[in-house]
Amino acid sequence: MDYLKIFAPATVANVSCGFDSLGFAVDEIGDEMTFTKTTEKGVKITNITGADLTYDVDENAASAVVKKILNEANADFGIELTIHKGFSPGSGLGSSAASAAGAAFGANQLLGNIYSDLELTKFAMYGEEVACGTPIADNVSAAIYGGFVLVRSYHPLEIIKLPVPSELRVVAIHPQVEVKTKDARDVLPTEIALKDAVTQWANVGGLISGLYSDNYNLISNSLVDIIVEPHRKKLIPFFDDVKNAAIKAGALGAGISGSGPTIFALCKGDAIAKDVYKSIEESYKNTGIDFEMFISKVNHEGMKIINSN
């Protein structure tokens, strides 16, 4: 294989109660990336569209990952890379993660698929570190594995792929405001009450149990975040209005995607998802803030090869 074009999905991380440990991939939006083998070693970005990102190989999350994986594999070839961003950086939908995970996947394909999904996640985490200073695994693992994932452990890294009930849908709204990841982390408490910790980890257990048992009521009851959301929602204009509108329209629950500003709602079935979409849209259209929205199934596959030769 000398050429590859892929789709790298956007992701929702944290998923209410699962801060830095739960994430899932979406079908509707993501990046398209191409990888072309070159006889000259090294990495070169030849085109970036859809966002204003650096062409510096060591500072761009995608090219930094490709460079690292080629060096680790002692590859006798180089790669030319193009990136089309299908959604905005800083949206809370894993923009840098899609680039980093897509880069790891694409380079691995040209290497003959020599690395496992877990190893690709480690490479992609390096890209997240380049992009935002922290090697977080929830977004990149969701993009690579597809579906719902649990980051069970960071040391050593352990990723568990979780089942996804067939009728589960996600509705998301991306207000056109900026929430920097650093700011979203700075507002978090350094200590929490034991009773809050117990409530939170019980909700994580309940959510995972609901996914395994197709128990939508249990999923709904467990999509509650009493630790992170109360602090971060202050950074997102009209967050409570959106969440209340979503739940009133029948959503199982709603919360902040990643560090925001995107707000996601999980729903059972297409009909309810459409009602939730309309309700959220109605709640936000007079705020004076531009926004984008989408409805999506959960992406079970993760990375998709569009074409290759």
Query: Would you please indicate which residues are annotated as catalytic (active-site) residues?
Result: 128, 181
Cβ atoms 92, 132 nearer than 8 A: no
Question: Which residue, among 146, 118, 143, has the nearest Cα to 300 in the 3D structure?
Answer: 146
- Kindly report the number of other CB atoms within 10 A of residue 192's CB atom: 14
Determine the angle formed by the axes of helices 95-110 and 138-145, rounding to 10 degrees.
50
DSSP code of residue 259: T
H helices present in the chain, as ranges? 61-73, 95-110, 117-132, 138-145, 181-186, 194-213, 216-222, 229-232, 239-248, 270-284
* Cα distance between residue 249 and residue 139, in whole Å: 28
- Backbone φ, ψ for residue 102 (5° rounding): -60, -40
> Which amino acid, 83?
I
* Cα distance between residue 114 and residue 112, in whole Å: 6
Cis bond before residue 261 (omega within 30° of 0): yes
- Backbone φ, ψ for residue 237 (5° rounding): -60, 135
Task: Give the pairing type, strands 253-256 and 304-308.
Answer: unpaired
Tokens of 246: 């979503």
- Backbone φ, ψ for residue 202 (5° rounding): -65, -40
- Kindly report the number of other CB atoms within 10 A of residue 200's CB atom: 20
* Cα distance between residue 103 and residue 233, in whole Å: 32
Cβ atoms 139, 13 nearer than 8 A: yes
